[in-house]
Chain A
Amino acid sequence: SAVISQKPSRDICQRGTSLTIQCQVDSQVTMMFWYRQQPGQSLTLIATANQGSEATYESGFVIDKFPISRPNLTFSTLTVSNLSPEDSSIYLCSVWRGGTATYEQYFGPGTRLTVT
């Protein structure tokens, strides 16, 4: 498995402000993934954070709204900018971990964001 930590675990923010979420992994990984889980919904991939290059965003997600940094192979940040109530969600980072027989994706504990 993988040991992944996220900060903050939760936050309440006012609309129009921004929140930066940190994700730390216990060992080096090439790719880190950022997901959003809106209330009562499944997981939606926001972007893939690659060390040394720009993040790759999924359809419907843009860099201006969700800027991502990946300064090294164990750390990434996701910023949710210009917050609106629709951004109230759980934000999760994840990594793949495995060997020759298995290759599995593990999630951090998540950041619960409430926008008022």
Chain B
Amino acid sequence: QKEVEQNSGPLSVPEGAIASLNCTYSDRGSQSFFWYRQYSGKSPELIMSIYSNGDKEDGRFTAQLNKASQYVSLLIRDSQPSDSATYLCAALTGTASKLTFGTGTRLQVTL
């Protein structure tokens, strides 16, 4: 079974701090990785995609990928209360264009 695993949280960080969200995957054939943000009652919104080892930065968000360790992370700098949401990690494997999702990490940014 190809799996993507995340700590369900909640992860609580104070406003202005760095939030670190982690994800591991079991299928070494996974090629691409995605982070989605989902507010309660809303559909997932794509934040970042990452395809190669290393870091990818976009504004306050940095995605990190380590294929040798089968590990993906998302860093949110200067966390804001509006960042409070569930963050879903997803991996693309195989040739059928199907994403496998983790269970999500709930982030709470406190004032």
Contacts and interface: CB of A to CB of B under 8 A. Distances in A.
Interface of A: 1, 31, 33, 41-45, 48, 56, 90, 92, 96, 102-110, 112
A77 B43 CA distance: 18
Nearest to A103: B32
Interface of B: 32, 34, 36, 41-46, 49, 51, 88, 90, 96-99, 101-104
A43 B34 contact: no
A109 B99 CA distance: 18
Nearest to B41: A112
Contacts, number: 45
Given A41-B103, A105-B34, A96 B43 contact: no
Contacts of B45: 107
Contact of B98 (A41, A45, A103, A108): A45
Contacts of A48: 96-98
A43 B32 contact: no
A107 B49 contact: no
A43 B97 contact: no
B101 A42 contact: yes
A107 B43 contact: yes
Contacts of A110: 42-43
In the complex, the 10 A-B pairs of residues with the closest C-beta atoms, listed nearest first: A110-B43, A107-B43, A43-B101, A42-B103, A42-B101, A107-B44, A104-B49, A109-B43, A42-B104, A104-B46
